Structures are given as C-alpha cells and as structure tokens.
C-alpha cells in the first residue's frame, strides 16, 4: 500500500499558484530571448505572420480539433491519461480559473515564436525541420522520467502545428491553435476537478 501511494506522488513537488505563474512567465521570457538571439545573431529569418481573418478561424478550428483528439486519446489510452493528469496536476491545479488565460497566451506565443517561427525556417522549413522542431517542442513538455507519453503527444501536436505553419505560410495559424488548445483543454480539465 505504501509503495502504491509512493508511485502516485509527483516526481517534482507541487507548486503554488505564484510559482506556476512565475515559471510560465520566466519560461516565456527565456523562449522569447532565445528566439530573438537566433533572429539577431544567427541571421535566421522569422516565419511570416500577419493578421488574416480566414487563417485566424483556421487556427481556432485546428485548436479545437487538437483538443478533441486529445480528449479521445486521454479517454482510451491509460498511459497518456496518467501522464497528462500528472502534468496538469502540477501546472493547473494551483491556478485560479482566470489564470488559464495566461496558460493560453504565454506558451502559445513564446513556444510558437521559437519552435515554429524561428526553428522551422532555420532548419529549412521542410519535413526535417518540422520533425526536429516538434521533437524539441515535445521534450520541452517533459516534467519527469515517467512522462514520455505526454512528450510523445506534445511531439505529435508539434507536428500538426509545424505543418500548419508551413502550409499556411503564416505563424498566426499555429499561434491561435496553440492558444485555443491550451485554453479549452485547461478549462475543461479544471471544470472536471470542481
């Protein structure tokens, strides 16, 4: 019994609301700085992005599709279910409902800027670039040695976001999709916990 309870304890300690918000902010700033350094000193072009109503809607639809697919995988794959719950317990549980806005915006903007906006064009904006940027994106979501199914899922999402950036030619699509995915899935998970 003690062994079973020990297995359920997180590998990293639970964080407070302030710690989670600070960690999100610091991570976003670090990713932004890395992206800016690459743009400035490595002479890497930023993937084009600009406002386009149709691509904004495509981003919303893509985000909702990713969220729906995540729900299906969550429901039918117990390994992913446990892995996602572990990650969300650490990140979401301490947050108040309005904080979810930051969980949508900060990673959605900073991660897309770096992984799709800078890394994709730096690696050639081809299949190889999508795969490498997606694996890096997936690994960013590793929060413990038993979280590999969550990393695999984040890598798959990275592939979808990467191809959406290349096909659309507009960073707006993956940014909006990422923000929508984070907002909707976080809100649904949070509501389920009440």
According to the model, what pLDDT value does residue 12 have? 60
Q: Return the axis-axis angle of helices 148-168 and 127-140, rounded to nearest 10°.
A: 140
According to the model, what pLDDT value does residue 148 have? 87
According to the model, what pLDDT value does residue 11 have? 56
Location of structure tokens 């389920």: 192
According to the model, what pLDDT value does residue 2 have? 42
According to the model, what pLDDT value does residue 5 have? 42
According to the model, what pLDDT value does residue 115 have? 96
Q: What is the mean pLDDT of each run of 10 residues along the chain (194 residues)?
A: 45 81 95 92 88 97 97 92 85 91 94 96 95 95 81 96 97 98 93 83
Domain-by-domain residue ranges, the chain?
Answer: 2-193
Q: What is the model's pTM?
A: 0.90
């Amino acid at each position: 019994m003690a062994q079973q309870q020990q297995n359920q304890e997180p590998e990293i300690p639970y964080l407070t609301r302030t710690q989670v918000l600070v960690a999100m902010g610091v991570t976003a700033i670090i990713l932004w700085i890395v992206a800016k350094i690459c743009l400035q000193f490595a002479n890497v072009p930023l993937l084009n992005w600009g406002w386009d109503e149709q691509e904004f809607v495509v981003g919303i639809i893509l985000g909702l599709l990713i969220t729906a697919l995540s729900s299906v995988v969550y429901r039918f794959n117990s390994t992913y279910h446990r892995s996602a719950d572990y990650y969300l317990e650490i990140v979401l549980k301490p947050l108040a409902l309005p904080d979810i806005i930051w969980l949508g915006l900060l990673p959605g903007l900073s991660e897309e800027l770096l992984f799709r906006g800078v890394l994709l064009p730096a690696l050639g904006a081809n299949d190889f670039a999508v795969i490498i940027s997606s694996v890096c994106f997936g690994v960013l979501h590793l929060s413990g040695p038993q979280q590999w199914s969550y990393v695999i899922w984040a890598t798959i999402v990275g592939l979808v976001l990467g191809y959406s950036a290349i096909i659309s030619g507009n960073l707006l699509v993956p940014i909006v999709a990422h923000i929508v995915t984070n907002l909707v899935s976080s809100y649904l998970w949070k509501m389920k916990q009440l």
